[in-house]
């Protein structure tokens, strides 16, 4: 705090001499964490065209066949190389209509499942930035935005989830995931819990209801909503074979990110 000037000290002395209690200077009110949080905004999406019903598949190149002998049985198995890491940025609009002629073909097995709004399936690593934009008021749909990621080592930075609930399914070996600070929803992990790491801000807003050696269930955000119908809310389901999972909040928007016009282009 800056010390008062000599003229200010004399003025305070005159007021005290006159028998009038000096009024201390009014300081600016301290900002509460909630007030500070209102200023935080999602990181703006990059100049990438909006999309929906996206399907991406990556596999390595065929190398040769490998024969494995187990007892008296010989098994011949194809050996594939590991593909290059898949890196992409997507601005997903779940209300966008896309003709079926532009979408990936569906197999009989796929017909039994709802088509994801974004699906990335790779035998290699995946590194994705994802923005889900709010649906238009005319859309009116409450259907969840479905995102499926299946790969080895996955990095996902989810910057916004829009206005619909989010169903996020991840199958991987290792995972680093960042979610928006305003995310509210269920979290399920099918993985040994000894190597799961949550950042301190995530830990403060997460309630854990089931914590075992082989998995956990919790709720991020307002835990009073954990008693609602989870089918109507957001959820994240993670299955990790090597159990190296870390979760944090995505970085908020800053003056530098708002001025920086570039982003990773979708591969």
pLDDT(266) > 50: no
- Higher-confidence residue: 14 or 142? 142
The helix/strand/coil state of 38 is helix
- Higher-confidence residue: 162 or 136? 162
Sign of CA dihedral 211, 217, 222, 227: negative
- Higher-confidence residue: 129 or 2? 129
Please list, residue by residue across 127-154, b when 16 or more beta carbons sit within 10 angstroms of its beta carbon and e when fewer do: bbbbbbbebeeeeeeeebbbbbbbbbbb
Task: List the structure tokens of 180.
Answer: 């928006």
pLDDT value at position 61?
85
Confidence of residue 223 (pLDDT cuts 50, 70, 90): confident
Q: Is the pTM of this model over 0.85?
A: no
CB 245 within 8 A of CB 191: yes
Average pLDDT across the chain, whole number: 79
pLDDT value at position 183?
94
Region 69-80: what's the mean pLDDT?
Answer: 75
Tell me which residue of 248, 244, 239 sits closest to 203, measured CA to CA. Answer: 248
Task: List the structure tokens of 201.
Answer: 């801000």
- Higher-confidence residue: 46 or 24? 46
pLDDT value at position 77?
78
pLDDT(124) > 90: yes
pLDDT value at position 202?
96
DSSP string, 209-262: EEEETTEEEEEES-GGGGGS-GGGSEEEEEEEEEEEEEEEEPPPP-HHHHH---
CB 218 within 8 A of CB 8: no
pLDDT value at position 112?
62
Tell me which residue of 124, 249, 247, 250 sits closest to 195, measured CA to CA. Answer: 247
pLDDT(37) > 90: no
Q: Quote the percentage of the chain above a pLDDT of 90.
A: 47
Task: List the structure tokens of 144.
Answer: 């969840």
Task: List the structure tokens of 216.
Answer: 């956990």
Please give the DSSP secondary-structure letter assigned to residue 85. P
CB 220 within 8 A of CB 179: yes
Domain ranges across the chain: 50-259
Which of 54-58, 180-184, 192-196, 236-240 is the least confident region?
Answer: 192-196
- Higher-confidence residue: 149 or 230? 149
For 99, other C-beta atoms within 10 Å of its C-beta total 6
Region 233-259: what's the mean pLDDT?
Answer: 78
């Amino acid at each position: 705090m800056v010390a008062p000037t000599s003229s200010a000290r004399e003025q305070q002395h005159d007021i005290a001499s006159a028998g009038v209690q000096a009024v201390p200077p009014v300081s600016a009110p301290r900002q509460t964490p909630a007030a500070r949080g209102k200023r935080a905004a999602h990181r703006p999406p990059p100049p990438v065209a909006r999309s929906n019903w996206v399907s991406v598949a990556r596999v390595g190149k065929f190398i040769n066949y490998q024969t494995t002998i187990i007892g008296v049985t010989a098994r011949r198995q194809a050996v594939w190389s590991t593909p290059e890491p898949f890196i992409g940025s997507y601005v997903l609009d779940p209300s966008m209509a896309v003709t079926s002629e532009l979408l990936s073909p569906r197999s009989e097995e796929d017909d039994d499942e709802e088509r994801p709004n974004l699906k990335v399936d790779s035998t290699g690593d995946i590194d994705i930035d994802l923005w889900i934009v709010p649906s238009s008021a005319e859309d009116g749909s409450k259907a969840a935005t479905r995102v499926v990621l299946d790969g080895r080592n996955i990095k996902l930075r989810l910057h916004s989830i829009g206005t619909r609930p989010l169903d996020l399914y991840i199958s991987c070996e290792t995972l680093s995931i960042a979610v928006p600070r305003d995310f509210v929803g269920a979290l399920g992990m099918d993985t040994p819990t000894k190597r799961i790491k949550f950042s301190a801000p995530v830990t403060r807003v997460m309630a854990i209801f089931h914590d075992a050696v082989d998995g956990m269930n919790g709720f991020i955000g307002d835990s009073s909503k954990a008693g609602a119908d989870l089918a109507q809310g957001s959820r994240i389901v993670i299955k990790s074979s090597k159990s190296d999972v870390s979760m944090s909040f995505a970085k908020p928007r800053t003056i530098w990110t708002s001025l920086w016009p570039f982003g990773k282009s979708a591969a």
